[in-house]
Chain A
Amino acid sequence: MPPIQPGQDPVALFEAHRAEIRRQKLWINLLLLGGFVAMLLWSIDVSRFWPDRLAAGVPRIFEYFGSVLPSFQWDLLFETRNAEGRFPPGSIGFWYNDFWKYLALIWETILMAITATLIATALSVVLSFLAARNLTPAPWVSTAARRFLEFCRGVPEILFALIFVFAVGIGPLAGILAITIHATGALGKLFAEVNENASMKPVDGLTAVGGTWAQRMRYGVLPQVLPNFTSYALWRFEINVRASAVVGFVGAGGIGAELNHVISFYSDDRVTAVLLLVVLTVTAIDLMSERARHALIGKEALK
């Protein structure tokens, strides 16, 4: 704001200045809006999100969801197996004919997630100490560790799963390895940020004692960051459960393969049967882990 000259009306000056700022802001905002609209139109065109396709597609969505919903007959709902050992159509038993098979696969999915989370946590603890700029034994180690973590979390799990299915064959091992690598990248970055916020005073203290680098990390830093690490690991576990339910799409174990098979080949109530089980599992694990996290750190400390 220019200094007020004698004889000038300060109110008028203020108004003029304000108007100028508003004009500038308006132009930039209009420009951004223009860019936004252009981007929107472009993406509508590129993804072929055209009205005629929508008009044809949307009814089919409702049709499809109508066909995959279970059709219950209320009088048969809790009917058990009949003489031929089958559930009558319209009962819950018919809907969940393959319940035990699904349950076994969900169990495998959860175990995959637990194993991957444990290994990823262990790896990322070590990597995070190397990557944290304030703790790293040498600057180039930090840079190398950071690039490595970026790579790990940059590539989606399912791509890693594709690669590992090729390398170690179809089965849960490929999925575990894929999730482990991706989760290591994500957790390693978060852990490194926690490390960078840790107080260096205890570390100095342990240097003065004559401790090795590992000892300084173990005694000087780990006690400070452990609650945060645990909370992040639990949070990652929730994500890993979702991931391990999906890696089966490319043959990497868990419920995913069944999910893929059911959705691709049937359009009946089996689709909702599997999906519902997956949703229930994921939600239940979310709830439990959220409880644990809140118990670990006050509710506020977590974003």
Chain B
Amino acid sequence: MTALSFADITDDDVRAVRQSHPQAFGDPVMRMVRIASWTIVIGYLLYSFHLFEFAKIFDSSERAWRLVSRIFYWQDMASWHYDQIYVGIAQTVAMAFLGTFLGTIFALGIGFLAAKNTMPFGVIRHAVRRLLDVFRGIDGVVWGLVFVRAVGLGPLAGVLAIWISDVGNLSKLYSEAIENIDRKQVEGVRATGADPARIIRYGYLPQIFPVFLSLSLYSFESSTRSATILGLVGAGGVGMIIIERFRAGMFDQVAFVVLNILIVIAVIDWGSGLIRKRFIGERGH
């Protein structure tokens, strides 16, 4: 068989190849499976577009336009009560910081209770883990509302909400870090005849500390994001200002506040990057 051109491929050739290499034309079963799964996905999407009335998007142009134009067209900037805005943002950051700090302290203990290699009693470990599932399974905003009901409006509820979410998240991550520890390093320290305190200090801590620090720093950043919206349910911080001004139709101010928050979060991100670099080295986590 020598040179061959596509134009020369006849139906007979196709038939011949189909005979000699039937698989080359696709497995009919696989093809059906593929078509069926795409049909399901697209069918589902069409159904959900109908169910959730996606057509409403097209009816909303007038309101959407009003909203967007107000977001980008800032007016009366002198009367925006910047003091409230920046106090709110400061309160948000403070709530996040304190919540993360408290969360870290609790997670330091609970993480060891939830790790396989440090908690030999399965019952306790599982009980702790299920409790952590509850802490994590409920969103920060819901916790915020719960604590507002319990301790009243204000940042205290916010701190508690962040604290409980962070305990849930950090404990789980910490326990995973503890479980992933390199036993050889610990054995190396033990082989020098060190006592248990030194084994922890030189065998465990150098491995765990950078990971823990990195996780807590990351948690601070993400807590700042969630603290922003805690105010929507009255749990303190800048969210209260956002919802108040949104309800009053001052979308330009909302945009301004959000922009400021994004900048603050970027700064926190940058700062925690510096700290990470100092204690953990370039590779980070």
Question: Interface of A with B (CB < 8 Å)?
Answer: 28, 32, 39-40, 42-49, 53-54, 57, 60-61, 63-65, 111-112, 114-115, 118-119, 154-156, 158-159, 162-163, 166-169, 171-173, 176-177, 242-243, 245-246, 249-250, 253, 259-260, 263-264, 267, 271, 275, 278-280, 282-283
Chain B residues near A167 (CB-CB < 8 A): 60, 63-64, 67
A-B contact pairs, 18 of them (CB 8 A): A28-B278, A47-B94, A47-B98, A49-B155, A61-B147, A65-B150, A115-B45, A155-B262, A156-B225, A158-B141, A163-B67, A166-B67, A168-B63, A172-B52, A173-B53, A245-B139, A263-B142, A282-B137
Chain B residues near A163 (CB-CB < 8 A): 67
Please state if B229 and A158 are interface contacts (CB–CB under 8 Å): yes
Please state if B156 and A43 are interface contacts (CB–CB under 8 Å): no
Nearest A residue to B147 via CB reads: A61
Q: How far is the CB of A219 from chain B (nearest CB, A)?
A: 17
Number of inter-chain CB pairs below 8 Å: 151
Please state if A283 and B147 are interface contacts (CB–CB under 8 Å): no
Please state if A168 and B97 are interface contacts (CB–CB under 8 Å): no
A176 to B53 CA separation, bound complex (whole angstroms): 11
Please state if B156 and A53 are interface contacts (CB–CB under 8 Å): yes
| Closest A-B pairs by Cβ, 3 of them | A43-B94, A279-B137, A64-B150
Chain A residues near B243 (CB-CB < 8 A): 162
Question: Interface of B with A (CB < 8 Å)?
Answer: 41, 44-45, 48, 51-54, 56-57, 59-60, 63-64, 67, 90-91, 93-95, 97-98, 101, 133-134, 137-139, 141-142, 145-147, 149-152, 154-156, 158-160, 225-226, 228-229, 232-233, 236, 242-243, 246, 258, 262, 265, 275, 278
Please state if B139 and A173 are interface contacts (CB–CB under 8 Å): no
A114 to B41 CA separation, bound complex (whole angstroms): 10
Q: How far is the CB of B89 from chain A (nearest CB, A)?
A: 10
Chain B residues near A245 (CB-CB < 8 A): 139, 142
Interface residue SS majority, chain B: helix
Q: How far is the CB of B250 from chain A (nearest CB, A)?
A: 12
A212 to B275 CA separation, bound complex (whole angstroms): 45
A46-B142 CB under 8 A given contacts A166-B63, A166-B67, A171-B53 = no
A49-B98 CB under 8 A given contacts A246-B142, A283-B133 = yes
A279-B134 CB under 8 A given contacts A47-B94, A111-B48, A111-B51 = yes
Please state if B146 and A263 are interface contacts (CB–CB under 8 Å): yes
A278-B67 CB under 8 A given contacts A49-B98, A49-B156, A53-B156 = no
Please state if A249 and B95 are interface contacts (CB–CB under 8 Å): no
Chain B residues near A176 (CB-CB < 8 A): 52
A279 to B142 CA separation, bound complex (whole angstroms): 12
A173-B156 CB under 8 A given contacts A40-B98, A115-B48 = no
A64 to B229 CA separation, bound complex (whole angstroms): 23
A249 to B230 CA separation, bound complex (whole angstroms): 11
Nearest B residue to A253 via CB reads: B52
Contact of A159 among B155, B160, B242 (CB under 8 A): B242
A162 to B54 CA separation, bound complex (whole angstroms): 17
Please state if A154 and B265 are interface contacts (CB–CB under 8 Å): yes
Please state if B56 and A173 are interface contacts (CB–CB under 8 Å): yes
